[in-house]
């Protein structure tokens, strides 16, 4: 199996990315459990992919929902989302303090260093705003689990991932002026058993049950 850099990997994954996975389902559930207020808020989704989570922000009453992503092929799969553009999380084409809620979901593990992205996430967030970061859980990566996908032809690929520990997230965020408000882990449990079953991999499910697959962190601007 080849290991792909993010831009190359997501260009290949884009046509089939809309199918949820155990990781994406756990991520969405853990984010929902955090109850980040969205009604009337300006929401920026950095690394929005096919923009499927932006739709939930609009449904929750966000006043603005902008998505940015490195991979044009992912953005091209976004249906009916008016506000999308190609951009790197480390150099956002956005004014300082322009958003009340800044999301960066399942993106940062693809970056070798956290500081440049946290600097940008903090910069574009209003002083009273919140920054929500999720990541492939460092405990899963350290335990040898990989970020893999099948392309439209059924070939399996691995995506480059860097296991950033929780302390590394906190330190990079703190250097950007963000302080941790809340942390949750998305843990493999019965709610995602069906994904393994449909893939014929209940053996993997039994092995992974109880493993944290997703890390979710909510930060506020430090005062
Ligand atoms: C696992 S997908 C998550 C997509 C979306 N956040 C979601 O939860 O459905 C990771 C996304 O990060 C994007 N990405 C990777 N590196 C990036 C970077 N440096 N800047 C912006 N986006 C990046 C990829 O193109 C891909 O769309």
Other C-beta atoms closer than 10 Å to the C-beta of 174 total 15
Predicted confidence band of residue 223 (pLDDT cuts 50, 70, 90): low
**Whole-prediction pTM:** 0.96
Other C-beta atoms closer than 10 Å to the C-beta of 95 total 9
Q: Is the CB of 10 under 6 A from ligand 1?
A: yes
**For residues 89 and 128, what is the distance between their CA atoms, to the nearest angstrom?**
21
How does pLDDT run across 160-205, given as a tens digit for each residue?
Answer: 999 999 999 999 999 999 999 999 999 999 999 999 999 999 999 9
Is the pLDDT score of 126 beyond 90?
Answer: yes
Q: Is the CB of 71 under 6 A from ligand 1?
A: yes
* Bridge partners (DSSP) listed for residue 183: 217
Q: Which pLDDT does position 168 carry in this prediction?
A: 98
Question: Which atom in ligand 1 lies closest to the alpha carbon of residue 87?
Answer: 21
Q: Is the CB of 58 under 6 A from ligand 1?
A: no
* 181 Rama sector, left if φ>0, alpha if ψ -120 to 50, beta otherwise: alpha
Q: Is the CB of 67 under 6 A from ligand 1?
A: no
Q: Is the CB of 120 under 6 A from ligand 1?
A: no
How does pLDDT run across 136-156, given as a tens digit for each residue?
Answer: 999 999 988 999 999 988 889
Is the pLDDT score of 93 beyond 70?
Answer: yes
Q: Which pLDDT does position 25 carry in this prediction?
A: 98
Q: Which pLDDT does position 82 carry in this prediction?
A: 78
Per this entry, what is the length of the chain?
223
């Amino acid at each position: 199996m080849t290991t792909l850099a993010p831009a190359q990997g997501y260009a290949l994954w884009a046509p089939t990315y809309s199918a949820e996975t155990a990781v994406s389902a756990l991520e969405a559930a853990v984010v929902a459990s955090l109850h980040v207020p969205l009604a009337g808020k300006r929401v920026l989704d950095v690394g929005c992919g096919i923009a499927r989570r932006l739709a939930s922000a609009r449904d929750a009453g966000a006043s603005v929902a902008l998505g940015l992503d490195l991979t044009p092929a992912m953005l091209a799969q976004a249906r009916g989302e008016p506000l999308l553009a190609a951009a790197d999380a480390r150099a956002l084409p956005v004014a300082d303090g322009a958003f009340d809620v800044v999301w960066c979901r399942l993106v940062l593990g693809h970056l070798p260093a956290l500081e440049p992205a946290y600097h940008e996430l903090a910069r574009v967030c209003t002083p009273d705003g919140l920054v929500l970061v999720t990541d492939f859980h460092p405990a899963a990566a350290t335990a040898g689990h990989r970020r893999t996908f099948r392309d439209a032809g059924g070939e399996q690929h691995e995506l480059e991932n860097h296991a950033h520990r929780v302390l590394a997230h906190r330190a990079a965020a703190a250097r950007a002026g963000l302080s941790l408000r809340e942390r949750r882990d998305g843990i493999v449990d019965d709610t995602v058993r069906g994904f393994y079953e449909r893939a014929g991999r209940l053996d993997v499910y039994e092995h992974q049950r109880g493993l944290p697959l997703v890390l979710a962190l909510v930060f506020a601007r430090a005062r």
